[in-house]
Homo-oligomer: A and B are copies of this chain.
């Protein structure tokens, strides 16, 4: 496999090229769209909004993360927008994260892997990497790993999520004293062992919330080769400096996803929504650059 075809290597290259581990999350909420888009038909408005944001952040961000739920809430026409926004982001030079949190038994997981990570006829795959859930165990993740190996794709597995209720299951103390998520981190480390690229990072990463003190640092220790997809910075209250431990060994050791403060920057900054998003993305990129010393 060539270096370029390993997802983690492509991510490391993108972070270096853009000079920032910023991922902009696309959570298009119809009620919060800019004034000028409110008169358009909702599905059309969401498409115009997402395309505008992609263009606005393309020079600053390494990746965009599409939150599937907001597109699915618009029905199959919304899913068609999801597809076109993925293609538009790729054309704009961005890596694409499909935030879909899928997981199912083997033959079904194969269909999910095909949906998001495999070529569609003449078109490339929708996404470079997708989020998956670990609850159903190793054989439910294996079909995704196979596509990662064969096609240079990646997954981010849920490990310790950013929401307050994440502890209900993820923090449960196991018989050996560790919280459950530490065990899941170990599984993720093992699943990604043969997907480490030349940059030293694995294409099997972990979703980690920066909203809980010490979690990013512990995840870095438990998952030395994983890219951490870090959520919770911005709208959920975590500060950029809390993500610093992710970058201890590699400038692409973390991918920090920030959604609503960038998307809806016009609500605070006023003016043109694209310019507001671009400015806010640049501000976050600079803050992240300051805490990820290897990024230049």
Q: Which residues of A contact B (CB under 8 A)?
A: 27, 29, 67, 69-70, 72-73, 75-77, 79-80, 82-83, 101-109, 111-112, 114-115, 120, 133-140, 158, 161-170, 172-175, 177, 180, 183-184, 187
**Roughly how many angstroms separate A274 CA and B148 CA in the complex, as a whole number?**
38
Q: Which of B27, B79, B136 contacts A76 (CB 8 A)?
A: B79
- Nearest CB in chain B: distance from A230 CB, A: 14
Q: By the criterion CB–CB under 8 Å, are A173 and B175 in contact? A: yes
Residues of B within 8 A of A101 (CB): 102-104, 133
Q: Which of B80, B102, B163, B170 contacts A69 (CB 8 A)?
A: B102
**Roughly how many angstroms separate A260 CA and B231 CA in the complex, as a whole number?**
39
Closest residue of B by beta carbon distance from A168: B137
Q: List 23 A-B contacts (CB under 8 A).
A: A27-B107, A69-B102, A69-B104, A69-B109, A69-B115, A72-B112, A73-B111, A75-B120, A76-B76, A105-B163, A133-B133, A135-B161, A135-B170, A136-B158, A136-B163, A136-B170, A137-B166, A137-B168, A139-B163, A139-B164, A169-B184, A172-B180, A173-B175
Task: Tell me how many chains of this kind the complex includes.
Answer: 2
Q: By the criterion CB–CB under 8 Å, are B72 and A133 in contact? A: no
- Nearest CB in chain B: distance from A255 CB, A: 18
Q: By the criterion CB–CB under 8 Å, are A139 and B115 in contact? A: no
Q: By the criterion CB–CB under 8 Å, are B161 and A115 in contact? A: no
Given contacts A67-B108, A69-B115, 10 further A-B contacts (CB under 8 A): A73-B112, A73-B115, A101-B104, A105-B162, A134-B135, A136-B158, A138-B168, A172-B175, A172-B180, A172-B183
